[in-house]
Structure 1
Amino acid sequence: MPELPEVEVIKRELQPAVKDKTFSAPRLIFPGSVRAPSPAEFVNLLQGYRVIDLQRKGKYLVFYLNRGILLVHLRMTGQLFFVGNRQVRPDYPYLRVVLPFTDHSSLCFCDKRKLGGIWLSLSKQDLPDGFINLGPDIYRQVDRQRFARMLKNRGRAMIKPLLLNQRFISGLGNIYTDESLFSCLIHPRRQVGTLSPDEIDSLYRAICELLNKGIDCGGASIRDYRNAGNQPGSFQYFLKVYGRGNKPCYRCGTPVARIVVGGRGTYFCPQCQKE
Structure 2
Amino acid sequence: MPELPEVETVRRTLNELVTGKTISSVTVKLPRIIQRPAEPEVFAQALAGQTIESVERRGKFLRIRMNGLVMVSHLRMEGRYGVYQAHEPVELHTHVIFHFTDGTELRYKDVRQFGTMHLFQPGEELVQKPLMKLGIEPLSSEFTLKAMTDKLSRRTTKIKPLLLNQEYIVGLGNIYVDEALHSAGLHPERTADSLKPAEWKRLHEAIHETLERAVEAGGSSIKSYVNGQGEMGMFQHQLLVYGRKNEPCTRCGTPIDKFVVGGRGTHICSRCQRLPRVKKSSGEV
Q: State the distance in 2 between where 1:147 and 1:93 align.
A: 43
- Secondary structure at 1:119's aligned position in 2? strand
Provide closer, same or farther for how the CA distance between residues 79 and 128 of structure 1 changes in structure 2, counting only shifts above 3 A. farther
Contact 2:125 2:131 in 1 (8 A): no
In the alignment, which residue of structure 1 is the partner of 2:83? 82
Q: CA deviation at 1:93?
A: 4.5
Unaligned stretches of 5+ in structure 1? none
In the alignment, which residue of structure 1 is the partner of 2:257? 257
In the alignment, which residue of structure 1 is the partner of 2:12? 12
Aligned-pair identity (%): 39
- Secondary structure at 2:43's aligned position in 1? helix
Provide closer, same or farther for how the CA distance between residues 147 and 58 of structure 1 changes in structure 2, counting only shifts above 3 A. same
Q: State the distance in 1 between where 2:192 and 2:219 align.
A: 28
CA deviation string 1:115-155 (max 9, x = no partner): 11111123627975231111121111312332232223x43
Q: State the distance in 1 between where 2:17 and 2:169 align.
A: 29
Q: How many equivalent residue pairs?
A: 272
In the alignment, which residue of structure 2 is the partner of 1:178? 178
In the alignment, which residue of structure 2 is the partner of 1:3? 3
Per the normalisation by structure 2, the TM-score is: 0.90
Q: Structure 2 counterpart of 1:110, which letter?
A: K
Q: State the distance in 2 between where 1:33 and 1:126 align.
A: 20
Q: What is the root-mean-square deviation of aligned Cα atoms in Å?
A: 1.8
In the alignment, which residue of structure 1 is the partner of 2:54? 53
Q: CA deviation at 1:42?
A: 1.1
CA deviation string 1:183-215 (max 9, x = no partner): 111011111111111111111111111111111
Provide closer, same or farther for how the CA distance between residues 88 and 167 of structure 1 changes in structure 2, counting only shifts above 3 A. farther
Contact 2:72 2:125 in 1 (8 A): no
CA deviation string 1:90-127 (max 9, x = no partner): 2x243121112111222111111111111112362797
Q: State the distance in 2 between where 1:178 and 1:127 align.
A: 31
In the alignment, which residue of structure 2 is the partner of 1:112? 111
Unaligned stretches of 5+ in structure 2? 276-285
In the alignment, which residue of structure 1 is the partner of 2:27? 27
Q: Structure 2 counterpart of 1:102, which letter?
A: T
In the alignment, which residue of structure 2 is the partner of 1:210? 210
Q: Structure 1 counterpart of 2:264, which letter?
A: R
In the alignment, which residue of structure 2 is the partner of 1:274? 274
The structure number with the bigger radius of gyration is 2
Q: State the distance in 1 between where 2:196 and 2:157 align.
A: 15
Q: CA deviation at 1:254?
A: 2.4
